[in-house]
Structure 1
């Protein structure tokens, strides 16, 4: 659905200044129906990448294919087949929400303009404000209207650049729920966001990017690769001998005592936790409960960027 091969974008500066390579040799494939999170710091080249994939600017070198259309050759077809939400979407502020969407629906040659406009205004909770000027809308309402605009022509591929940026919690949740609904419909979503908790919840895979692609995988696999898995055994009291007892198991990689807890690093805790629990009970331990330390996507993101630097 989205495929790039060594996609590169270089911006020329003034004379006697070296060019800036905003995107370096990006090779990536996003599958149909996948929500792909594109994460990176400000100035990393994320928006430049989206603009190339949306056929808004030409790459310096490399190639990209969207819905089997090639960037630079089939740009009109690409623009017709995708939806895009930019970080700062522009609207005709003196026109109503309904009129704004009608204009764009006609540009996309939507067959049932009135029906599609009503469908998405209702879906995003804007129907009662359809006749109001967009200039009177809050940022959250404008963002929802911009999402509706991106969906009017029912594209199978969506590019969303910071869809919940600056929204209050209620509006952000509505947008996230809407993305979940689009995901359930099998649409392919390319999501740029600084909200790492949002990316963790929504994305099937993530790519960490800083001019070039540093890491790409599912959040779970990246956690496993960077941190492994750690189980915490909460005890009424800790006997130091139990530390050595657990270390004797071949599948245990590390045991760390902390107050009345044992932190155990191991793979496949679902398989081996019962073995460790039985052993601790045999040794006389009073187990209060067992949990697992779950590193956040923020931990993964920062660790990956630090390793790159």
Structure 2
């Protein structure tokens, strides 16, 4: 299902002696069907508030939002049937077994085959052998997997995941990431709120960076290019000043800098331009050991974007 928002805003009325708190301001966004989409921002940026509005847990102050054909605030019952939600701190009935917990929620969602769905997701997430154990005896990773199973019992087409791997050990975190990729292959729309930027880069087709207001939205690769361009690193046995001068004669070279035995060159099309530069450097006597690309991480993109917003 496609998700769209237009000028979506949430204002919380503080104590009458304090001004109102704007949590989300004029958020206009479009999330494609079947897309894994990341919501990134510092604490207090409005990520969780946005999710709570889109899942109809709280009402927007103004603006509009649609989950597929259904409008938030008008078709809330349909939306709740169509979405699944994993909150950052999911609560469970700790004295009850994993199977009993899921059975209760499956019945609340009017799942047709309660027993079959409960077994399906307990097995899928590796919890079937512990199905009769009380949830209070589960590790944090097991509880997180059980919470994901709960969010999927009614087979939602849209899934909201708020910090799905927070606090998990590497093995449990990888299992959750693999599971998200499997859900993506089924064509579900997944909205991922996370502070784990490496995870967001691996899982998300696009990300939105915002702090109350939307700052940037695009693929991680396009955001990298927009903020940093592309830079190729030529590793040489020795760097000579004439090599720098040579590279600067090419009109398509955007910038050149030398660091120890490396030349860092800004290019718009490295794949097309590298062969000529390699050939000319070799002709000039350069001993090239290898060529690579200087890649900025999504964390670099995020920090540059947020810092730029602070300076605006």
What do residues 54-113 of structure 1 show as CA deviations (whole Å, max 9, x unaligned)?
A: 000000000000021100000111001100000000111111001111111111111111
Q: Any conservation in 2 of the 1:162–1:192 contact (CA below 8 Å)?
A: yes
Q: Any conservation in 2 of the 1:251–1:266 contact (CA below 8 Å)?
A: yes
Q: Following superposition, which runs of at least 4 residues in structure 1 exceed 2 angstroms of deviation?
A: none
Supply the distance in 1 between the matched residues of 2:247 and 2:217 (Cα, whole angstroms).
34
**2:43 aligned counterpart, secondary structure:** coil
What do residues 135-188 of structure 1 show as CA deviations (whole Å, max 9, x unaligned)?
A: 100110000000000011111100000000010111000000000111111110
Q: Any stretches of 5+ residues in structure 2 without a counterpart? A: none
Supply the distance in 2 between the matched residues of 1:15 and 1:259 (Cα, whole angstroms).
61
Q: 2:162 — aligned with what?
A: 161
Supply the distance in 2 between the matched residues of 1:184 and 1:247 (Cα, whole angstroms).
46
Q: Any conservation in 2 of the 1:67–1:81 contact (CA below 8 Å)?
A: no
Supply the distance in 2 between the matched residues of 1:16 and 1:198 (Cα, whole angstroms).
41
Supply the distance in 2 between the matched residues of 1:199 and 1:127 (Cα, whole angstroms).
29
TM-superposed CA distance for 1:237, in Å, is: 1.2
Supply the distance in 1 between the matched residues of 2:168 and 2:7 (Cα, whole angstroms).
35
TM-superposed CA distance for 1:134, in Å, is: 0.4
Supply the distance in 1 between the matched residues of 2:14 and 2:108 (Cα, whole angstroms).
35
TM-superposed CA distance for 1:249, in Å, is: 0.7
Q: 1:80 — aligned with what?
A: 81
Supply the distance in 2 between the matched residues of 1:237 and 1:47 (Cα, whole angstroms).
52
Q: 2:179 — aligned with what?
A: 178
Q: 2:288 — aligned with what?
A: 287
The alignment of Structure 1 onto Structure 2 pairs a total of residues equal to 309
**2:250 aligned counterpart, secondary structure:** coil
**2:199 aligned counterpart, secondary structure:** helix
Supply the distance in 1 between the matched residues of 2:294 and 2:26 (Cα, whole angstroms).
36
Q: 1:266 — aligned with what?
A: 267
Q: Any stretches of 5+ residues in structure 1 without a counterpart? A: none
| TM-score, normalised relative to structure 2 | 0.98
**1:65 aligned counterpart, secondary structure:** strand
Supply the distance in 1 between the matched residues of 2:239 and 2:53 (Cα, whole angstroms).
58
Supply the distance in 2 between the matched residues of 1:110 and 1:268 (Cα, whole angstroms).
53
- Residue 66 (structure 2) pairs with residue 65 (structure 1): yes
**1:252 aligned counterpart, secondary structure:** coil
RMSD over equivalenced CA pairs, Å: 0.6
